[in-house]
Amino acid sequence: MLKNWTNIFIYHIRNNKFFTALNVLGLSIGIAGLIFSILYWNEEHSYDQWNPEKDKIFLVLNDLGGGNVWAVNSAISGPTLKTATSDLQEYCYFTTDYARETMQYNGKIEVVDKIFSAQGNFFSFFPFEFVKGSRKSALHDRNSIAISEQTASRLFKNENPMGKQVKYAEKLFVVRGIYRLNEKSSVMPAAVTTIIEEDLEKNKESWGFNYGLMLKLKRQSDTTAVIKKLNEIYVENNYKKQAKEEGITYEAYLKQYGEPTKALFLPFPGSRLVPGNFPFPEGNTNVRFLRILMGLSILILLLSIVNYINLATANAVKRAKEVGVRKIVGATKGQIIAQFVFETTLITLFSLLLALVIVELSLPFYNSLLNKNLILEGSQFYVQLIFIFIIVILVSGVFPAIYVSNFEPLKVLKGNFSRSKNGIWLRNGMLVLQFAIATFFIIGSFIVYQQVHYMANKDLGFKGAQVMDISFKPKKGKKQFERYKTIRQELLKIKGVEAVSAGVFSFGTNVNSWSGMHYKDDKEVITQQMAIDFGIFDVLGIKVIKGRDLSSQFASDTLSNVLLNETAAKTLMEKDPLNKEIVWGGRKLKVVGIVKDFNYFGLENRIAPMIFLHITSFEWMQKDLRNISVKIASQHMPETIAALDKFWKTKVDTEYPFEYNFVDKNFARTYKDYQNQSKLFSLLNCIVILIAVFGLFALASFSMERRLREIAIRKTLGADTNVLLQDLSKQYVIFCAIGFAVGIIPAYLLLQKWLEDFAFRIDIPVLPFLLALVLLMFLTLTIVLAKAYQVTKIDVLKYLKYE
Amino acid sequence: MINIKKLSKIFRTEEVETNALSEITLTINQGDFVSIMGPSGSGKSTLLNIIGLLDSASGGSYELLGQEMIGLKEQLKSKARKENIGFIFQNFNLIDELSVYDNIELPLIYNNVPSSDRKKKVGDIATILGISHRLKHYPQQLSGGQQQRVAVARALINNPAIILADEPTGNLDSKNGNEVMELLTDLHASGATILMVTHSDYDASFSQRTILMKDGMILSEKTNNRNVDVFAANLNN
């Protein structure tokens, strides 16, 4: 039986090489698209799966109200909670960002990325495999450092690192453990120290939210009780204490400062997949993008399956006689269905293999677009592959098989293969669906492209070209701001340097600090703090639109005068916000100027209220000064940079290399992801159009070939070519129009939703819609008319004699 | 073997009703070689299709080998057909995409004959019909006469109880047509039951009985006496 089926299958392939190849290609592209998405999905879901402790761990987040959920905590919560409740097994604070610093051993200096700090019990939360040393002893004192295998080989080559001393952050540490990072985790540090303990010690009375906090509970069911305890601690130790200090009642305090912060527990497993702030430095998944990618690839697979079904049912006519004979000779309906499902299985198998080849070849390109390291393997992946295989066979194979098995032998043998009305409408419906999907993709990718283009070219409110952002690492024993002042004088002497200034912020990074601002009795406004030195607005091209900039001429400018950006100024609700007094950071400050709003974070975020004050106005600000901004002339840039490099290496930092980025390039990082997504979408778009066009061509060919006899008769009766062409192509043009109409609605709705996530966005333009219509019409007409022309050139006699 | 009583067939389209067969009564015994003749539209092919279980009647009774076929479910009809009936058509109806061997083998596959037996059976019948040298070829590579012989081989391979032939020589020239008729005569001589529809008196003369039909009714039945010129027939071969 199978041999018989295989023989006829091979015969058909040999005689229809072109169509079979296109059919297999179409299906394989659809499957390849889905495989890409699945690889990404699997990878994102595989983080932390290895961790045996994962179900016991909870991350503490804080809901400040107004949609502000922060992933950071104060140093007070942990220890206070431990004494307040017995449900807590242990807690661990950690830094929410990696540090990038030099590590030295034996005179050798290496710049190490991903240096992490946590409390000593870190490895009981993340039990990495230890190659040397053990989890318990790796961080047992302030001088211990644990490093990863890679870091060990970089610094120590073949030496045994245990017990040796390394210099990091101006201190000496002893290596007490080497761990191996062989699985994906939310934290994958090159080195771990406990220097966070110093910070925690210093801030043990402060309610500043700065640290990530994870908890292990004795019983998972106790979460509500523990959260309640945390909230109580906040109210008692923060709100009520502050109210007492201010001499007002707790209720009055509530009225002015709003509801107290509420704690939220995020269960660790799957925490990466929850949108919002995430405490671990590896960052969380871009869930929305993942979902969009999955959705699009399913759509493409659907398109190729619909294509296959259309072709198979159209092709069925060619097999009608064979099916008739088989039935007469004794085949049951079930056997006919089995035969055609078998054929679909073979084609799907070829497509699957071809899809895997396509994926393997394109994987490097895909990885670079997503900034990931996906590989084509994994036991879960194989199971999913089999699942896809079966689903594709069922969906695309069963319907045409049933359609074919319903042919009545008598009718087909007589050649009276009259079209069943149901079959026609379904086929046409699917063609319309193809057009609709193609419309959606064309419009979608165009709008995405336009939005990204808009983001790349928008006036950001600052000018970042020619401005270098130089890494400025702190040195022990010296104050950052003093060092900066000296360096600044020297830098200005270098040829090509036009201006030097500094700000405790860095475009394109996520570095940010916030605090509450109060004006009169108004509700607290959480503002972004931007500590600056004089002249930074000139360096960055940021405009002061009212009042004046800070300047060295005014002594109070270094103490208590500030500027606000437009957004912050609006919250004061004064016609003229100048010279008004606000309270910030516990002090009274005066507003001397308003700055035009500029984008600091990427364009999907609204501009936040910002407060600009001099670095020296608050003692604690200067330790966060980590960059110096230098504006250089556009001529002879390489020479200027070389001179800066030389100066830096000798006078500023002999250990940490001279690292800089241009501010505009830095900012470009915020939308780089979107640029990649736009490229991906455009690529998908081309694929979709290809598949849809192919489907149309094959479908048009087949249905026209069935009408050959009718065309022959019409020709005999005198119809000329033009009339025939019109007649043949009319219905396709109508379907194209209907498909377009059906496709624009979801396109509009879904893209509207996508755009809503951008604070700065384009309005949905009309152009893409027109473009999609024109493009589709053009493609449809070209293909259909080409085929129609070919068909009208037939030899009339050949088809009239056939009976 | 076949007992037909008051068989009727009415074709209904949207507005028109056509009586293809009106109350036909007919008996065919084992070993008979019967021809059905009549002008176009008389219902001969319709009758043949009903007898061959390819079509269903609107009324009456049709007994095949003692079993009533009218009102039987499609699946059971199909089973009865594949076990008991062999078809020969005017336009051969071979599957062009399969080789001659595969075409002849097809009924055996659908009747679940094990593969070792199939090879032998196909080889045997091909030899009998004189086409064993063409087994690997495709139908388009054969002459009309040879194609019909393949069709006959296919019809016979399962040893059916009855062979139904619908204008078997219609697409053949006189020499090939003659060969096919001689073939059918030989089969009949070895005990086969054959029912043939034909336009040609010459072909009908090979059979024992001829039934004349017109407008869906049987007009007459006559027995044939064939005068065979033995010497001339041998010389022509």
Q: What is the pLDDT of residue B112?
A: 85
Cβ–Cβ of A4/B102 closer than 8 Å?
yes
> How far apart, in whole angstroms, are the C-alpha atoms of residue A461 and residue B126?
90
Q: Which residue has the tokens 């939210």?
A: A209
Q: What is the pLDDT of residue A689?
A: 85
A325 close to B (CB below 8 A): yes
Q: Which of B73, B82, B97 to mutate against chain A (most A CBs within 10 Å)?
A: B97
> Among partner residues B75, B97, B107, which is closest to A329 by beta-carbon distance?
B107
Over residues A52-79, the pLDDT tens digits come to: 988 889 999 999 887 788 999 999 999 9
Name the helix (H) or strand (E) containing A22: helix A17-46
User: Nearest CA to A72 among A63, A80, A61?
Assistant: A61
Q: Compute the average pLDDT of residues A175-194.
A: 91
> How far apart, in whole angstroms, are the C-alpha atoms of residue A179 and residue A128?
6
Cβ–Cβ of A329/B99 closer than 8 Å?
no
Q: Give percent of chain B above pLDDT 90.
A: 22
Q: What is the pLDDT of residue A428?
A: 82
A207: Cα within 13 Å, side-chain hemisphere:
17
**Cβ contact B36:B232 at 8 Å:** no
**Cβ contact A277:A284 at 8 Å:** no
The first and second tokens of residue A328, run together, are 């007469």
Cβ–Cβ of B110/A330 closer than 8 Å?
yes
Per-residue pLDDT at B137 exceeds 90: yes
The first and second tokens of residue A25, run together, are 């290609």
> How far apart, in whole angstroms, are the C-alpha atoms of residue A101 and residue A112?
6
Give CA separation, B168 vs A410, A778, B93, B176, in Å.
17, 52, 11, 11
> How far apart, in whole angstroms, are the C-alpha atoms of residue B74 and residue A209?
79
Q: What is the pLDDT of residue B14?
A: 80
**Cβ contact A227:A152 at 8 Å:** no
> Among partner residues A321, A322, A329, which is closest to B82 by beta-carbon distance?
A329
Q: Compute the average pLDDT of residues B98-117.
A: 89
Question: Nearest residue of B to residue A10 by CA position?
Answer: B97
A549: which DSSP letter? -
Provide the shortest C-alpha distance from residue A414 to chain B (in Å): 10
Question: Nearest residue of A to residue B95 by CA position?
Answer: A322
Over residues B189-198, the pLDDT tens digits come to: 888 899 999 9
Q: 3-state DSSP call for residue A505?
A: coil
Banded model confidence at residue B228, pLDDT cuts 50, 70, 90 = low
> Among partner residues A321, A335, A409, which is closest to B110 by beta-carbon distance?
A335
Q: What is the pLDDT of residue A129?
A: 92
Banded model confidence at residue A223, pLDDT cuts 50, 70, 90 = confident
> How far apart, in whole angstroms, are the C-alpha atoms of residue B58 and residue A224?
77
Q: Which residue has the tokens 């016991």?
A: A56
Provide the shortest C-alpha distance from residue B109 to chain A (in Å): 6
Which of A 88-147 lie inside 8 A of B, CB atoms? Answer: none
User: Nearest CA to A7 among B17, B122, B99, B22?
Assistant: B99
Q: What is the pLDDT of residue A415?
A: 65
Question: Nearest residue of A to residue B160 by CA position?
Answer: A329
A329 close to B (CB below 8 A): yes
Task: Give the total residue count for chain A.
Answer: 803
Q: 3-state DSSP call for residue A579?
A: coil
Q: Give percent of chain B above pLDDT 70.
A: 95
Query: What is the per-residue burial (b if ≥16 Cβ within 10 Å, else e) of A168-184?
Result: bbeeebebbbbbebeeb
**Cβ contact B47:B36 at 8 Å:** yes
Per-residue pLDDT at B233 exceeds 60: no
Interface of B with A (CB under 8 A): 49, 54-55, 75, 78, 81-82, 87, 89, 93-95, 97-99, 102, 105-107, 109-111, 154
> How far apart, in whole angstroms, are the C-alpha atoms of residue A743 and residue A748?
9
Q: Which of A8, A10, A13, A329 to mutate against chain B (most B CBs within 10 Å)?
A: A329
A332 close to B (CB below 8 A): yes
**Cβ contact A538:A619 at 8 Å:** no
Strand partners, B19: B10
Over residues A113-164, the pLDDT tens digits come to: 899 999 999 999 999 999 999 888 888 888 999 999 999 998 888 889 898 9
**Cβ contact A643:A494 at 8 Å:** yes
Phi, psi of A254, rounded to the nearest 5 degrees: -60, -40
Over residues A542-555, the pLDDT tens digits come to: 999 999 998 888 88
CB-count burial class (<10 Å; 0-12, 13-18, 19+) for B14: exposed
Per-residue pLDDT at A304 exceeds 70: yes
Provide the shortest C-alpha distance from residue B133 to chain A (in Å): 20
Provide the shortest C-alpha distance from residue A15 to chain B (in Å): 10
Q: Compute the average pLDDT of residues A777-790.
A: 85
Query: What is the per-residue burial (b if ≥16 Cβ within 10 Å, else e) of A89-98?
Result: ebbbbbbbbb
CA B42 to chain centre: 18
